[in-house]
Amino acid sequence: MAVSIQTEPFDPGAETNAFLLANAGAGAAVTFTGLVRSQPEDPIGALILECYPELAINQVTAMIEQAVVRFGLIRAKVIHRYGTLRPGEPIVQVMALAPHREAAFQGAEFLMDYLKTDAPFWKQEETPDGTRWVDAKSQDDAAKARWE
């Protein structure tokens, strides 16, 4: 299990390759990479993520431990950036290694649903009209509710 909360950019391909090197007993690996998006109808110049790194590391580690037990994962890793990010840059990568694909998919989804709703990150978007806070979306809460 590993958590990295960082300001530095990361290479999702390199992270995936490194994660897969420790795959004893695995039959499935799932990786998800979330990117900063800017839509033509609602452009943003940057996404500003704030967090308390120590708190984030502790809380995300606890969720990974829960996912490992709940889904029988062999290993899981979360990388999450904070600071100022531009459209197209990776924000988050979740990786789950399991004996079978269902457990790997469920473990990765469980972790992403937690990160979207409960992880201690606060988002602001820089737009042509100024800066605005990003609220949690009801569909994210609904996705998380399926695990309760």
Domain tally, the chain:
1
Residue 25, domain extent:
2-145
Write down the pTM of the prediction: 0.92
pLDDT digits (tens, 9 = 90+) for 3-56: 999 999 999 999 999 999 877 778 999 999 999 987 778 789 999 999 999 999
AA letter at 128: P
Pair of tokens at residue 121: 């990150």
Pair of tokens at residue 92: 């988050």
Place of tokens 């809380």: 59
pLDDT digits (tens, 9 = 90+) for 56-91: 999 999 999 999 999 999 999 999 999 999 999 999
> Which of 31, 1, 3, 2 lies closest to 16, judged by CA?
31
Pair of tokens at residue 53: 């790194």
CATH of the domain at 105: 3.90.1170.40
